[in-house]
Chain A
Amino acid sequence: MSSVLVAALLIAGVAIELLCCLGVLVMRGPYARLHYTAPAGVGALLIAIAVVVRQGFSLIGNKALLLAVFVLVTAPVLSHVTARAARIRELGDVVEPGFDHFHETGEEPR
């Protein structure tokens, strides 16, 4: 029973990671690609739970959970930092708080 659960969690986690990679490869433009980087934390969490189911809360189980929680927390931060860099490269620094370039000019984001 435990091995079935481990295999299911592993397959689900790896599938999520593969779909994320495929999304980054297939999508056009940096903003669309960035949407596919954040769900990697969910896949990492599933793989870490598979390790915990197999090994329990041991040396590797605790660290796998730590790794998954770290990835889960930092993935949105990285998305934000990269999207901010893309926007500043495209439009220059944000000089006026609350000014929405796309709303004011009617341009479509890339």
Chain B
Amino acid sequence: MNEWLLAASVLLVGGLVPLVIAAVTADAISGAAALNLGGPIAALILLLLSEGLHRQPFVDLAVVLAIVSFVGSVIVARFLEWGV
């Protein structure tokens, strides 16, 4: 295991698990805040995995995930604004 895979593992366990706990246990807006942070962290995990596994073309997935998670977070916030 190289340092990139180690960093990805640490982010996966230490980063996403607290966000899932926050999203499940707190109110809806706090869940949206956790979602705001979870998207970029998942994208960073993909970036670290593609570097660590020497699959460099797969970094496109990280870029696409960052863009799509941004749009998704905005839509979730708009739905919450409308009282859904």
B10 to chain A, nearest CB (A): 6
The answer to whether A85 and B33 touch across the interface, beta carbons within 8 angstroms, is: no
In the complex, what residues of B have CB within 8 A of residue A82's CB? Answer: 29, 32-33, 36, 73, 77, 80
| Contact with B67, one of A34, A64, A70 (Cβ below 8 angstroms) | A70
Q: Name the residue of chain B whose CB is nearest to the CB of A71.
A: B40
Q: Mark B47-73, 1 if CB is under 8 A from A, else 0.
A: 110110000110110110011001001
Interface of B is mostly: helix
List the interface of chain B (C-beta within 8 A of A). Answer: 3-4, 7, 10-11, 14-16, 18-19, 21-22, 26-27, 29-30, 32-34, 36-37, 40-41, 43-44, 47-48, 50-51, 56-57, 59-60, 62-63, 66-67, 70, 73-74, 77-78, 80-81, 83
What are 26 A-B contacts with C-beta separation under 8 Å?
A13-B44, A14-B10, A17-B15, A17-B41, A20-B37, A21-B37, A30-B32, A34-B33, A37-B33, A40-B37, A40-B40, A41-B40, A47-B44, A47-B48, A51-B47, A51-B51, A59-B59, A60-B50, A63-B63, A67-B44, A67-B47, A70-B63, A82-B36, A82-B73, A84-B77, A85-B80
Q: Besides the contacts A6-B3, A60-B50, A85-B80, what 9 more A-B pairs have beta carbons closer than 8 Å?
A: A20-B37, A21-B14, A30-B26, A30-B27, A30-B33, A33-B22, A48-B47, A58-B56, A77-B74
